[in-house]
Structure 1
Amino acid sequence: MHLLTDPRAEPGFDAPAAAQPRRLTLAFTGDGREYFRIWVVNLLLTLATFGIYSAWAKVRRLQYFDRNTLLAGASFDFHGNPRAVLVGRLLSVVLLVAYHYAFGFSSTFGMVVIIGLLLAFPWLMRGALRFRLGNTSYRGLRLGFDGSVPAAYLAWLPPAFTFLMPGVLLALYPEKPYLAALPVPLYLLWPLMHARIRRFQHAHLLFGDQHSDYTVKSRRFYRFYLVAGGLSLAAMIGAGVLAGVVGAAAGSKAGVAVAIGVFVGLLMVYLAYLFIGPYMVVRVSNLAWSNTSFPGLRIHSTLPARAFMKLQTKNALLTILTLGLYRPFAVVSVYRFRLAHLAIEVDGDIEATAAHVATRGGAAGDSIADGFGIDLSW
């Protein structure tokens, strides 16, 4: 009968401990000086080829950052085809030119172009995500993105429509400029639109054959926009007051007063941007990434808002003072800062997880990148 007895009930039996989650941090092994050399060569070759080399420059840049990003002793890699990037950039230039000059031919032609842009934009954004992730790998496993076309339209069409409509109304009815304000109430829904875009981006990620899970309520984005809106309003009020004081001090010199007032106002707005932009990046990134997970793997983002604002302010000042030459150092510092506050929690170890995914056929993700071979981003 003892054969039917649960051995865990016997005296002195110790059950094996469950595998404890491991918290892994990411690291960047590159540096600003090294990337500066790559940046200079990319810039010179891009100028020499009238922009054509920019596609190869982007692939080289992504490979540099991915191959110098380490997680548990292994690096990422990027396998994108520069020709696909070039096709995407040519397409984006054509779309931009069409948008700016469409109504110069006729209202009918302009509306056809706008409708075409609205119909193409979600599909193109989905393709860009598939290209970027499908060409990124870790431990031989391709990442991926499987968001559907209908989901892409639900995510991207409302903000694209909201953004384009004021300009379209101005082009169609130049004698009635007030009509451009009709779509303004839609901006009250912008936080929900932003939340839907982030859900589309984070809820359809793939690591081999493992599908991501994303758990964020859309209404949580409103808090960030309310804070950012309050800061923007305070900046505008401050700029107006300061411009008025400067103008009054200038006295009868109206031209000087206006010039100084405009300069002070623009400076205040720019300083506000240095704080509001980083604030939104930090809050949205922490919320979205900390609620993104895979089976047995969870992501944690803990970017500090104040430290990120200080970093971005320093980068902006040094970039201006060096006439743009500090730009590659700024890019590296921001990338390293963001990685330093991103962690991966794994049940067991990442090597075993990757090996398990690979044995289930997860490495067959190459076809994901081939599904759409155009990269629209710059």
Structure 2
Amino acid sequence: MPRLSPLSRCHMPFNDNHIEPSSVATVRRLPIEFTGSGSEYFRIWIVNLLLLLVTLGLYWPWAKVRRQRYFWGNTLVDGDPLGFHGDPKQMFKGWVLVGVLFVLYNWASSFSAVASLVAFVALAALWPALWRSSMAFRMGNTSWRGLRFRFVGSLRDAYLAHLPPFLVVLPMVLLTFAIPEDPEQAPPEWVMASFGGAFVLLVLTLPWLLWRMKAYQHRHYALGPLQTDFRASVGSFYLLAIKPFLLFAGVMGLIALYVVTSFGSADALGGLLGEMMWVLPVLVVGFWVLMFLGIGPWITTRLQNLVWTKTGNGQMRFISQLRFRDMLWMSIKNGLLIGITLGLYWPFAKVAMARLRLEAVHVRTVTDMQALLAAEHDRPAEAAGDAAGDFFGLDVGL
């Protein structure tokens, strides 16, 4: 096997249909299987739930480790399971850190508008580092065939990925200063217009913002000398968003038309409360069904296929072939059974969904993975925990 430089993206191009290896390379397919069962995970889930209740939530990091180890250990890539090696004590520190940050933010928000703005900026300044730390912790504590994965995204790139969302949301935060403190006093018209414009800007840029986040994540996964690249374009994210956006806008437009035509006059407003006693529940249920049975499964399917099929490099890449009808049926089935059992079917639903989504993915590679991993094991070991020890070595649950 040719020698690979550390963290090589292997600049051989790939497209939607195949890897483009050298003429003598053989493409191998590495299947992904999930062997977990609902009954096994139910026992873990019910114990975790009871201990969380007894400890008032303090058991959360240990519960998360048990859950991760079960799901990782039952995820087989080419017949070998993943391993999770996270330390719940480190995860507890991260959990406490994030909890303290949000308590301070809420306290500052109730203290004064200026304190709220300062807290928002401070939290936004720290958030990219925490986000990167969480991914480094999770990847650094995940292994396959004895070799740890790594997340190699830089802190600078994490801040660059988060800067546009911060700049888009900041005007909405600043506009809150112009809202009167008296709830009976209406905000000025220019404030409402500006707030509406900022919200429209946020909606229009959401696909771009999501693309930036996914690009940062999927360009920096590494195993041994291999590092992934991400070839999805911004336009593909906008194309993905068009259908659910048009469906959502159409439903909202019909609701608005119904309200205007039914209660457009002052005389008709008198019957609004009585009418809404039955209209509002119908609208809420209809909206939930639309999101749960239509938009949600469709976005999940298309986003998984887009993101993972565009992740890889010239020697190894992922292929996701999740089908919408399978996702739709699973969502309906899980939703009904969770409702009928008053939530007790939840662990079975999680296992079924994990199996559906994981087994829709496989890996194509022209690299002899066994030889690559053997070569990596022969290299001098790096300091333990370096990959997972970035920024306090904490998992903040992001």
Normalised TM-score (structure 1): 0.87
Deviation at 1:235, TM superposition (A): 2.9
* Aligned pairs (5 A) from 1:20-99: 20-99=26-105
Deviation at 1:199, TM superposition (A): 0.4
- Which residue of 106, 113, 122 maps to 2:112? 106
Measured against aligned partners, the alpha-carbon deviations of 1:238-273 in whole angstroms (never above 9, x if no partner) come to 5567889999xxxx9764421211111111111121
- Which residue of 222, 225, 234 maps to 1:209? 225
| 8 Å Cα contact 2:311-2:318 kept in structure 1 | yes
1:309 has 2:328 as partner: yes
Q: How many residues get paired? A: 361
- Which residue of 251, 257, 277 maps to 2:275? 257
- Which residue of 272, 283, 286 maps to 2:302? 283
- Which residue of 183, 195, 198 maps to 1:183? 198
Measured against aligned partners, the alpha-carbon deviations of 1:205-240 in whole angstroms (never above 9, x if no partner) come to 110232112212222110111111012123324556
| Cα distance in structure 1, aligned partners of 2:341 and 2:258 | 28
Cα distance change of structure 1 residues 102 and 171 upon mapping to structure 2, 3 Å threshold: farther
When structure 1 is superposed on structure 2, of 337-346 and 159-168 the one drifting more is 159-168
Cα distance change of structure 1 residues 141 and 167 upon mapping to structure 2, 3 Å threshold: same
| 8 Å Cα contact 2:334-2:349 kept in structure 1 | yes
Task: Point out which structure has higher relative CO (alpha carbons under 8 A, 6+ apart).
Answer: 2
Counterpart of 2:129 in structure 1 is 123
Counterpart of 1:267 in structure 2 is 285
Cα distance change of structure 1 residues 110 and 24 upon mapping to structure 2, 3 Å threshold: same
| Cα distance in structure 2, aligned partners of 1:37 and 1:255 | 47
Deviation at 1:83, TM superposition (A): 1.5
1:346 has 2:365 as partner: yes
RMSD value, Cα: 2.8
| Cα distance in structure 1, aligned partners of 2:333 and 2:255 | 22
Deviation at 1:84, TM superposition (A): 1.8
| Cα distance in structure 1, aligned partners of 2:251 and 2:333 | 20
SS at match of 2:153: coil
**Which consecutive unaligned segments of at least 5 residues does structure 2 have?**
1-22, 181-186, 264-269
| Cα distance in structure 2, aligned partners of 1:329 and 1:171 | 47
- Which residue of 341, 355, 362 maps to 2:374? 355
Deviation at 1:65, TM superposition (A): 0.4
Measured against aligned partners, the alpha-carbon deviations of 1:300-341 in whole angstroms (never above 9, x if no partner) come to 111112321221222122222222111111111111001111
Counterpart of 1:220 in structure 2 is 236
- Which residue of 353, 363, 383 maps to 1:334? 353
| Cα distance in structure 2, aligned partners of 1:356 and 1:309 | 43
Counterpart of 1:232 in structure 2 is 248
Counterpart of 1:134 in structure 2 is 140
| Cα distance in structure 1, aligned partners of 2:174 and 2:397 | 24
| Cα distance in structure 2, aligned partners of 1:39 and 1:167 | 39
Deviation at 1:148, TM superposition (A): 0.9
**Paired residue type of 1:68:** N
Identity %: 35
Measured against aligned partners, the alpha-carbon deviations of 1:78-121 in whole angstroms (never above 9, x if no partner) come to 11111222122222222333333423212221121011011011
Measured against aligned partners, the alpha-carbon deviations of 1:340-371 in whole angstroms (never above 9, x if no partner) come to 11001122543223223333558767411122
**Paired residue type of 2:196:** A
- Which residue of 157, 161, 171 maps to 1:155? 161
When structure 1 is superposed on structure 2, of 159-168 and 275-284 the one drifting more is 159-168
| Cα distance in structure 2, aligned partners of 1:173 and 1:32 | 50
Deviation at 1:19, TM superposition (A): 4.5
| Cα distance in structure 2, aligned partners of 1:366 and 1:91 | 20
Counterpart of 1:145 in structure 2 is 151
Measured against aligned partners, the alpha-carbon deviations of 1:262-286 in whole angstroms (never above 9, x if no partner) come to 1111111111211212222221221
Deviation at 1:184, TM superposition (A): 2.2
| Cα distance in structure 1, aligned partners of 2:228 and 2:218 | 7
Cα distance change of structure 1 residues 102 and 342 upon mapping to structure 2, 3 Å threshold: same
SS at match of 1:323: coil
**Which consecutive unaligned segments of at least 5 residues does structure 1 have?**
1-16
